[in-house]
Each structure stands twice: as structure tokens, then as C-alpha cells.
Amino acid sequence: MEIFTDIDSLGNTPSAVTVGSFDGVHRGHLAMITEARELAASRGLPLTVVTFARHPRLLFSGSDAPFLLTSTDDKLSLLERAGVERCLLLPFDNAMASLTAEEFMHDILLQRLGVRMLAVGYDHHFGRPQTGEGISQYVEYGREMGVEVVQLHPYTPDGQKISSSRVRGELAAGDVEAAARMLGRNYSLQGRVVHGEALGRRLGFPTANISLLEPLQLLPLDGVYECTIKVRLQSYRGVMNVGCKPTVNGSSRTIEVFIIGFDGDIYGEPVVVEFVRRLRGERRFAGLDDLRAQIESDVRCVSEGTSY
């Protein structure tokens, strides 16, 4: 996949584009890209996926609460796996945010990219909000500019639209399996192994403490999860705890993985962790012996593929 960060490097040649944040690159996004690619091909145009290096919500919300489903690098990797051949990564700053939809279509898409077809999600809005503006106005703007605006079909395999917000909702509820069905893959985190308090080692279950590469990535509901972890190009099954470790009065949220069947020093190593299923909620135990017994049960549950 060719990735462009300089808008003028694409050249002003006839093309088709679809625009979006594409956070998560879920099955709805994939259906959207597939339909846009087919429409572009039928018109003899190359398709460019236009997305943003910075999620628009970061500029508008004023909150630093984690919400991202993918880092920018992960998003680009997933778009490439989806068969996208050209991707324009635009900065989303105050100048970009100040553009109305009509200005974005004319100044960016038409004048600088030579766009002849714009494929728009069936309920997607872009540009500085204007009262009552939607797809019919985009079509009219396009007609005046000589840009065909096409509304893509909704993707509703379970009768509901798959969206990034729905994925976030399932993760917030701890239902990583429902999130996986919408994503088309297990939800994953990319991070690096860092030093922790060595509590797991004292209990006989040394854990890899993980620092996220994208601090704003959303974590599922606190609890204990079955996971897979990839380290040094090898994948292992694991038991992951997300939370504050109430038994030892933990004060900050951490991510710790006991890697089944692995023994080695991986401090500083990059890892990718995938959530498979939620085993139980995080809770306070009467003491470390009770906590150790519960971890033994968690590991046995994952090793044997059983449930509580």
C-alpha cells in the first residue's frame, strides 16, 4: 500500500476517494471499502482511502480518556491487509476542522486531488457541522463541482449497523467476543514489556507487565481474560489481568499477562496481545493464598479450554 502524507504528492489526476476515521477498521469499514473499490473500478478510477493521522475526537472532546480502537500504525496495517492500494493520511488540525463539507470537497478533494467520485458512508458526515446538512447536500455540492457523490450501503449483518461506537460499547462491557465478531478479528493491544512490582513472581505466576504503545487505546472492562500473546514471532496462550489489583490495594490500572508455557526474560520486548474471552471480573481476595488459588484456576481454565 502506498501511504501519502503530503497531499500534493498524489497529483491532481482523476480519482475516487472514500473518507473516514476508520478507527478499528471493523467489518463495516471493510464492506464500505470493498463497495467503494468496486464503484471506482466500474468508472475506471483508482481509489484512495483518505483518513486522519489524528482522530477528530481528540481535537473536539477536550478529554484524554482512552477511546481509540487502533493506533495509527495499526490502522494503516489493517487497511493494507484489506487490500487498500493508496491511502492519504491527512493531519486533523484546526485548519482542517474549520473547513465546511463544501470547502473540503472543493479545496481538498477537487482542486488538490482531482477527485471525480466521492463514496460516502450512508450516514457519514464530514466538515464543520452545518444545520441540516447531509448526503443530499453533498450530492448537490458535487453536482456543481463535477464530482459524483455516491452513498454507500449500510452493513447490518445482525440487523444493526456495525460501528466503532458499538465496538467500544462491547469492550466497555467486557464482551470481547462480541467486539471480535464486529471487528472480524480479536481485539488486540500493542505494547512493550516493562518492569512491575513482581507480585506475580512471588505468587508463582510471573507476569509480563505491558505498557501500551498507544496510551489512548481503549481497554476492556477490568477483569481477567484469556488471551494470546505474540512475542519474538511466537504466539502463546495467556491469562491477562486488566485492572488495579484490589487484593494488594493497587492504585493504578495495569495490564499483566501470565504466559502459559513460557519462561524467559522479555523486558523491553514488543508484544501484541489479543483478547479471546472474559473469564471473570476483578475482585478483592481475603489474602494472597486465595489469590494464588484463583490464578491457578484461571490458568487451568485457559489450558483446558473450560469455563467457570
Residue 274 phi/psi, 5-degree rounding, is -115, 135
Share the mean pLDDT of the chain: 91
Which range, of 71-80, 87-96, 161-170, averages the lowest pLDDT?
Answer: 87-96
Strands 148-151 and 115-120: what pairing? parallel
- With a cut of 80, say whether residue 302 has pLDDT above it: yes
- 227 CB burial (10 A radius; 0-12, 13-18, 19+): buried
Over residues 195-225, the pLDDT tens digits come to 987 777 777 788 999 999 999 999 999 999 9
CB-CB contact of 264 with 213 (8 Å): no
Average pLDDT of the residues in 105-119: 94
Cα gap 188→195, rounded to integer Å: 21
Q: Residue 62: which pLDDT band, with cuts at 50, 70 and 90? A: low
- With a cut of 70, say whether residue 61 has pLDDT above it: no
Rounded percentage of the chain residues whose pLDDT exceeds 70: 97
DSSP 8-class letter at 15: E
CB-CB contact of 80 with 74 (8 Å): no
Q: Residue 290: which pLDDT band, with cuts at 50, 70 and 90? A: confident
Q: What is the pLDDT of residue 68?
A: 95
Question: What residue spans define the domains of the chain?
Answer: 2-151, 171-304
- With a cut of 70, say whether residue 292 has pLDDT above it: yes
- With a cut of 80, say whether residue 65 has pLDDT above it: yes
Q: Residue 60: which pLDDT band, with cuts at 50, 70 and 90? A: low
- With a cut of 80, say whether residue 272 has pLDDT above it: yes
Q: Residue 59: which pLDDT band, with cuts at 50, 70 and 90? A: low
Over residues 22-52, the pLDDT tens digits come to 999 999 999 999 999 999 999 999 999 999 8
Q: What is the pLDDT of residue 132?
A: 67
Task: Collect all residues with Cβ–Cβ distance below 8 Å to 217 and sequence separation of at least 6.
Answer: 66, 68, 69, 70, 71, 189
CATH fold of 171-304: Elongation Factor Tu (Ef-tu); domain 3 (2.40.30)
- 287 CB burial (10 A radius; 0-12, 13-18, 19+): exposed
Q: Residue 11: which pLDDT band, with cuts at 50, 70 and 90? A: confident
Over residues 137-147, the pLDDT tens digits come to 999 999 999 99
Q: What is the pLDDT of residue 63?
A: 64
Over residues 81-99, the pLDDT tens digits come to 999 999 999 887 888 888 8
Q: Residue 115: which pLDDT band, with cuts at 50, 70 and 90? A: very high
- Tell me yes or no: is domain 2-151 CATH 3.40.50.620: yes
Over residues 224-261, the pLDDT tens digits come to 999 999 998 899 999 999 998 888 767 789 999 999 99
Q: What is the pLDDT of residue 66?
A: 92
